[in-house]
Structure formats: structure tokens, C-alpha cells
Structure 1
Amino acid sequence: MKLYTLIIFCSLVDKSIGISDWDVFATKTTYHWATGRTINPFFADVDYSFLKGNYECKAVHVNMVLRHGARWPTDSNMEHIEELANKIKENKTSSLFTELDNWANRYDLQNDGKLVQEGMVEQEFIGRNTWMRFQTLFEMYGNKYVKFVSSSKGRCIQSTQSFYNGFYKTMDNKPIFAYEKNNKLMRFYDDCDRYETDVEDNEENFKELRTFEKSRDFQNVIKSVEGRLGLDAGTLSVDDVYQIHNLCSYEKYIYNETTWCNLLTDEERQVMEYSSDLENYYESSYGHPFNAKIACPLLDNMLTTMEISGDKSRDFDSIPQDNANGYLAAKIYEGHSGTMLPLMTKLGLFNDSEPLKSSNREKMKNRKFRTSHITPFSSNIAFVVYSCDDKLSSNHDREMMVKLFVNELPVTIPACNNEVCTLQSVLDYFKDIRGDKCDLEKLCEIKPVSEASRHIPVTFLYLIVLLLISYISFK
């Protein structure tokens, strides 16, 4: 097994050559660019157990949410790519960037949003890494007590399959691939009227983004690209420059080419990255309070699974003989960037001391909320539950503990401000969203005007009545 892993690792060394600090494209960043890691040959069982005081702790449950892997552009992106390429070819100075003259659009609408090879590799390696980190746990239970949940989108189902392939890579008796399709958990923002009106279609919510797009920093990017191509001022729109930035990423991770990347400098890519972060901050994260609220169905489901699987009265040695009480060794969820960011926000992760604004890009250069790092393709969040037994106690006292990993690295859990929390403290911290307190249908409901009018203050109604009486008296 170790030899197999080492061979895979060595075969990937060449892929890291040429990766530079500017290989960051907000949510269009590949997992490898964001983390500098693929498979780790020295991962085996490193997080299966640990000692904490008199307690010996062993992993008993892994609860993991992933974003799908690197993908093809969506159909709307592909249409814009064709329009952009034609606009540039028709208007640019012929002697500049001649490689664009013969550039052919290879983005087929039939591939709309599907996983590319890089995305499959990302997911397979994370699946393999997960198995290796908790090898003892999964060798005991992993062929029987692992459940997969996916969004209905093809790229998520493909990601689930790729994760499964890596997870069970070396097992002879692997289970038949099966998954639960559940958009209520993995695409909770869909069909949510209140999210659409209050967040997504609310231009006031994006005023910082729109202001930044009019700023000198952003407008200079447009002017610089137009100048490099010999285009008349005003030829390129704001959306065109976003598409060039996206094309740089697509071309690099799909075809390993940099034709479109050459149109942007490192500094200009950072401007584009910040602009994308502004959009994601207000559309899916701390920029609007509703973004965290709609993550409650997924988080509640995770916590419930952790609570059941981490029942401290359970005899974990007898689980293979009796699963009547719902134990799972692992539950793996596959979703989207719109799944990950609200969940991270609800967990209190990557929250800066001040909000992202159009005016503070320089101040926020070292920001925590940097989607290139926290939500690239295949980004992941994992709660791991440990059974901790006091070996010095005659009563064999037990405590259930939790660690939290983001993109395979341990992080501080805001629920207890520590890297290791009791399971109960995490459950208590989120008690306000548990069970029937998390009603997504009710949360997403938009109250009709007649309903809202019932909540007009009594004093306001009294004032209206007085004004009417006065009007009638003086008439």
C-alpha cells in the first residue's frame, strides 16, 4: 500500500512545476493550485487517534462536505466565450497577440458544467487521502457503513463517483456505488424565494461590488487589456474582463495553455480575484445575514448524523454485527460553492474583523475570506468524531470529542475556540437550528403585503385615524 501511494505521489511531482502565486481565480481555482497538495504518501492513519490528558481518543465517525471538482464552463459561460473571442478578433490590432487570431473555441455545449479530468483526479485523491488518514476506522467499517449524498447536478454525481473510486481504491470487496440525491441539503439556495429577492436579485446588496467595478483599480484593468490588444476605449465590458480572467483559468487547468492568461498581469489578476471575492462575500457569505440561515438544513443533518454515530453509550467494537441504531463510519456530501460558503459562514469560519468593501482592498490583502484558498474546486469541510476513553479510570469514563478539518487541514472550531471540542459543546452551540427549528420552507417564504400590514405599529395606525378625523372636521 505504501509503495502504491508513493508511486502516485511521484507521478504528480511534475504537475507542481510552473505553479506560481498568481494561480488563484477565486472559486475557479483548482484544488492543487489552492493547497499545493494532491495525495500525501505519509498521511496513513495520522488522524485516527490522539492522546488528550488521560484520554485515548480514536476516530469513530467522519462527516465530510465537498464542493465538486474542476469542471467545464457552463453553457452561459461558453456562449459568452464565443462572443468575446469574436469581438476581440474583429476589433484588435492585427499585429498584437496574433495567437488569438487563430484561437479556436473548444468549449462544447454538450460538456456544460461537467467534470474535467483535473476534477476527477482532485476528488479521487481526496477520497484516497481520507481513507488513509482514518485507515483503521475504515478497514473496520468502511466497506459497509459509508453513505454518499449528492446534489442532482451531473458534476456532483461525477465527483461522488470519483471520491468513491479513490476511497475504495485498494479494497477487494468494495460495495456497489450508491448515493442519495438530495437538493434540499446540497442546493438549499434553489427555489428559495426569499434568498432570490433579499440576496440574489437585490442590487442594494451588491453596491460594494458595483462600486469596486467602477473604481480606478478595476477600470485600469479594462483599459490595460484594451491597450494590449489595440482596442478602442470602451470596446470591452466589465463582464468581458471577468470572462478573460475565467478563460485564463479554464485554459490552464483543462489544456495547460496560457494564451488568455497573457492578457492579464499578476497584479491585475489580484484585482479580479478581489472583485470575485466581493461578489461571493455578499451573495453567499457574511455580506448578508440570510446567507448563513439557509445553510441550516445541511448543518442540522450533519450534526444529527454526528450525534447518532457518536453516541457515547455505543460499543464501537460490536458495530459490524449490529447497525440497527443508524451508525455510520462516514457520511460524504457533494455540493457546490453555493453550498460551501453559507456552511462556512454558519460555522463562523474565515470571518475577518471587518467586512470586505470596495474601498479596502489593500487593507484586506491578507484577508481570511479569500475564496481562492477556502473554496476552490473540491474544497472540503470535515467534522471527525472521536471516542475518548480514560484508561486510568476504573469506571472507564468516556467523552466524545470533535476535530474540524478544512481542505484537509485542522482548524480552530469557533464553537469552542479550540482545535478539539466536546461533541456536546458543538451540538449545544447550534441548538437553535436543530430539528423543527430549521424549517427551510418557512425561512424561504415571502410574506404577502397583507400579512406584513398586520405588523404596522399601533401608534402609527392611531396617528392615521387622528389625521382622518381632523380632515373630516375641517372639511
Structure 2
Amino acid sequence: KTRTSPLPTESEGQRSKSRLAMAPPATPLPFLVLLATLLAAAPLLPPAAAAEPEAFDVRRHLSTVTRYDVSRASNSVVSAPAISDECRVIHLNLVARHGTRAPTKKRIKELDRLAVRLGTLVDEAKQGPDTASLKKIPSWMKGWESRWKGRVKGGELVSEGEEELFNFANRVKERFQDLFDEEYHPDVYSIRATQVPRASASAVAFGLGLLSGKGKLGAGNNRAFSVLSESRASDICLRFFDSCKTYKDYRKRKEPDVDKQKEPILEHVTSALVSRYHLKFTTQDVSSLWFLCKQEASLLNITNQACQLFNEDEVHLLEWTDDLEGFVLKGYGESINYKMGLPLLKDVVQSMEEAIIAKEENFPDGTYEKARLRFAHAETLVPFTCLLGLFLEGSDFEKIQREEPLDLPPMPPQRRNWKGALVAPFASNNMLALYQCPGNDGKKTSQDQKNSYFVQVLHNEAPVSMPGCGNKDLCPFEEFKV
């Protein structure tokens, strides 16, 4: 096993300046050799810039447990590309993750076990000879109980998640006013979700925002609307990860490797916490405490308990372990991760083709679909994001085309594009807007169309360029669908 060298006890002022020191791994794994070298040699934070550094906020570093509004505020968006006034949006595809949720039943049990474990650690410290070390134990830890203690159900959409989707829908309605000015019909505005309650509840919250004021129900003039779902066993568009045996086999085979890659980080942080608080933490304790930090910060807005156990350097490293897991098991780590999402991409392209036919043949409004709105999971959104080629490093897109393996996301303090807090926070989404522009610039399409059609991709509501389309902001549809 890889072992970390013990860290000396550090004062509060020294924590942010800590350095990692790790012994080389006993096993000849190239990744662990590289990891140990980086941890031993590299400072964890980049040199201070001339400008005033932005205040550290742990809520921006919770990987895929990050709240949507926090993620959007953290994302530096370049100005949106100019779209000609003569162009108008004629169709919208949306693929969204569910909003902020409660911890699952399995995780609730983990937090209950953590409460028992923390009680044991505190009791052991009280019985030890060094009474002075008791002052180092955080006061919240004494007698701590999980906020979810006694609950036998979990994973549901919480009120904050409802607000995320409701407010998101209002912004979508404002951005694409011409698209949503028509009377609601389920064949015009198709809303789909998986059969998992938090996904369908997210669809309902979005629908309430989108159709607010469109009906006669209650003070908000709401109206009823339809949400369609496929069975879990046959939903190859939104739950392809459940029905793809090749992917299941890959994940089962790869998970132990990911755990081994995360182990040096957990051992280092464990060593630091043992030295800092004089409690006999294990790596499992630290893993559970990091999970507790994410739940407290994201769901309860509490950052001065579990999260305060870790200094900034350690938060960056723990965040990286989460991002590494998402990259390998859901993202670019293996082509099967995103290739299994091709039925979803095919469904998106088909909906655009149908919208183009409707426009070319002058179908009257109300007789064709204008939006296809889908609500699912991170395991849906991340592969779809990869199919669009987003969040790659350098020449990675060319490597993907050649089906070559990609390097893992760079470790802190190096910058990286793949961050779970930006790729797939709660309520994360990809929107694909189809625009119709007059004329075709003298270029005949395969269908000899009278108009030109372009696709704009927005990730978490921010326009992004498409690597598969020469990094264009607006991709000609014929080029997009190739």
C-alpha cells in the first residue's frame, strides 16, 4: 500500500500553506508513481497573482453535489455569439439532470454509522492520557447526530431542487420567447422524465415554471401538463446506463482501480487530520466526513462543521478524487461511457429533422413539436456532454475520434477543464437550439432547402463552441448531424 509520511501538527494560520509529502508506492503502478511524485514536489496552490485572490468558498468545490446557482456563478462565460435578427429559433432540445436531492437511503445509513464512529473516537480521546489534546476536537463533533437520522427513505427532490428547475424554466421561457408563445399541447411541448421520482419531480417543477400563467388553476394561473416516462428496463434514451451490459461490466471492472487511484489522497488527508485533531481517523472516516461536508454545504448551507475539518488544499484534492471518478466511470475514461448515449443523440437529431421538415413544408403552428424537454440523471447528462465534445483538454477531441485513451484530469494545482461542479452540478443541463435563417448562402444542402439551419449548444445556459464543428458557436445542421 502507498503510505503518507505523517504531517506535523499545524496551527490554523499554517494550514493553507501546507505541503504534501508522500512516500513512493510499493507497487509498480505508473499512476501511483506519478501521483506520489506530484504530491511530494508540487505546491498545492498556485503562486499568488497580482490581483486580489477570490475568497475561497467550499460550496464551489463539491463536484457533482454542487448547487446549480453556485455552479453558474462560478462559471466564467464569454459573451454569447451574435445571432442575426433574421434568424429565429424553431426548436429546442433539453437534457437536464434532476435538481438538488436529499441523500439516498444507502448514504443515510453511512451517516448514521459515522455518528456512531465519531462518538467512539471522542470517547477514546477522553480516556487517553493527553487531556490537552481534547481541546483540538471540534465542538460540533461531540454528540453529533445526522440531520437525516431515523429516515428510511431518501433521494427525493428537495425544495431547493424544485426552485432550481422552476427558476431555470422561467429563464428558458424568457430566452426563447417566440418558441413558447403558443398554446400548450403535449405534442408541441414534449416533457419526458425517467421513472425515478426525483427526475419526474424535476420535470414537474420545470413545467410549472414554463407554463405559469398559461392556465386557470390557482392564484398562479397554472395548468396541468403531461410528463411521459419509459420503463426503467427499456428506457434507452434516458437510462441507457441501466440497459447496457457492456457498460455495467466495464464499471464493475474499473471501480476497484478508481478506488486505488484515490487511495493516496485519502491516506494523505487522513494523516493530516489525525495530526491536526489527535483522533484516530481511518480513510473510511475521512471519506464519510467529506461526504458529510458536501451534504451540509450543498443542502443545509453549513460550512463550519465537517467542511472546516479540511484546509483549502485538502478540499481541492478531495474534489479532484470525485472528479476523477466521474471522468473514468461516467465521462471520457472509456468510449463505452458515452457511446451508449448515442440513442439519445439520435433522438435529438431526429427531432430537429422533423422540425426542419415542418418549416420547409409550411406546417401550421400547433401541428408540430417545438420543444423536447428531458429530465434524468448525471449518468445521462455526462455521457451526452461527452458526445458533444465539451470540457476536453487540448487535442483530446482528435484522440476521441481515433478512440485513443485520454489522460486523467490534471491534479491540483494544475488547472483542468473537467470539474464535476461545472460539468454536472445539480440541475445541470444541455440545450440545443435549432435556428432557421433565410437563404442558404448559395450552398445547396442535401435536401435543397430554401433556408439554412444552425444548431447552438448551451451548457448550463451558457453558449459553448463545438469541437466537432470546427469550434463554431453556430454549427450548420448538416454538419452537426454527420
Pick the TM interval, shorter chain.
0.7 to 0.9
- Alpha-carbon deviation of 1:256? 2.3
List aligned pairs for 1:178-257, cutoff 5 A: 178-182=226-230, 183-197=235-249, 199-203=250-254, 207=257, 209-215=258-264, 217-232=265-280, 235-237=281-283, 239-257=284-302
Alignment of 1:16-415 (within 5 A): 20=57, 23-36=60-73, 50-51=83-84, 56-92=86-122, 93=125, 95=134, 96-107=137-148, 108-140=150-182, 145-172=188-215, 175-182=223-230, 183-197=235-249, 199-203=250-254, 207=257, 209-215=258-264, 217-232=265-280, 235-237=281-283, 239-258=284-303, 259-311=305-357, 313-314=359-360, 318-320=364-366, 323=367, 327-353=368-394, 355-357=406-408, 360-362=410-412, 365-390=414-439, 397-415=450-468
- Are 2:391 and 2:418, in contact at CA under 8 Å, matched by a contact in 1? yes
Q: Which amino acid aligns with 1:50?
A: I
Q: Does the aligned pair in 1 maintain the 2:97–2:426 contact within 8 Å?
A: yes
| TM-aligned CA deviation for residue 350 of structure 1 | 1.2
| CA-to-aligned-CA distance 1:26-57 (integer Å, 9 cap, x gap) | 1111111111289xxxxxxx99x931xxx821
Paired AA for residue 227 in structure 1: S
1:420 aligns to what? 474
Q: Is the 8 A contact 2:97 2:377 kept in 1?
A: yes
Q: Distance in 2 between matches of 1:339 and 1:269?
A: 27
CA-CA distance at 1:315 after TM superposition: 5.4
Report the AA paired with residue 162 of structure 1.
A
SS state of the match for residue 271, structure 1? helix
Cα deviation for residue 77 of structure 1 reads 0.7
Deviation at 1:135, TM superposition (A): 1.0
SS in 1 for 2:272: helix
Q: CA deviation at 1:294?
A: 0.5
In 1, distance between residues paired with 2:155 and 2:294? 15
Whole-Å separation in 2 of the counterparts to 1:154 and 1:79: 20
In the TM superposition, residue 175 of structure 1 has moved relative to its aligned partner by 4.8
User: Aligned to 1:386, what secondary structure does the other structure show?
Assistant: strand
Q: Which residue of 2 aligns with 1:446?
A: none
CA displacement, residues 258-277 of structure 1 (integer Å, 9 cap, x when unaligned)? 32111112211110111111
The verdict on how the C-alpha distance between 1:249 and 1:187 changes in structure 2, with shifts beyond 3 A counting, is same
Code of the aligned partner of 1:194: T
Structure 1 position 356, deviation (Å)? 4.4
Offset at residue 21 of structure 1 (A): 6.0
- Deviation track 1:123-176 (CA, whole Å, cap 9, x = no partner) reads 111111111100122113555611111111111011001111111123236652
SS class of match (1:106):
coil
| Amino-acid identity (%) | 23
1:336-359 Cα offsets, whole Å, 9 max, x none, are 11111111112211122364448x
Q: Distance in 2 between matches of 1:292 and 1:284?
A: 8
- 1:106-134 Cα distance to aligned partner (Å, 9 max, x none): 21534411011111111111111111100
Q: Aligned partners of 1:396, 1:416: CA distance in 2, in Å?
A: 20
| Counterpart residue number, 1:443 | none
> Is the alpha carbon distance of 1:425 and 1:131 closer, same or farther for their aligned partners in structure 2, counting shifts above 3 Å?
same
Aligned-partner Cα distance in 1 for 2:197–2:96: 15
1:421 CA drift (Å) = 1.1
**Does structure 2 retain, via aligned residues, the 8 Å contact 1:115–1:155?**
yes
Displacement after TM superposition at 1:311 (Å): 2.3
Q: Partners in 1 of 2:164 and 2:56 — Cα distance?
A: 16
Q: Give the drift of 1:105.
A: 1.7
Q: Unmatched 5+ residue regions in structure 1?
A: 1-17, 39-45, 429-475
Answer with 1 or 2: which has the greater Rg: 1
The TM-score with structure 2 as length reference comes to 0.74
- What is the alpha-carbon distance in structure 2 between the residues aligned to residue 70 and residue 57 of structure 1? 35
Q: CA RMSD in A?
A: 2.9
1:184 Cα deviation from its structure 2 partner: 2.3
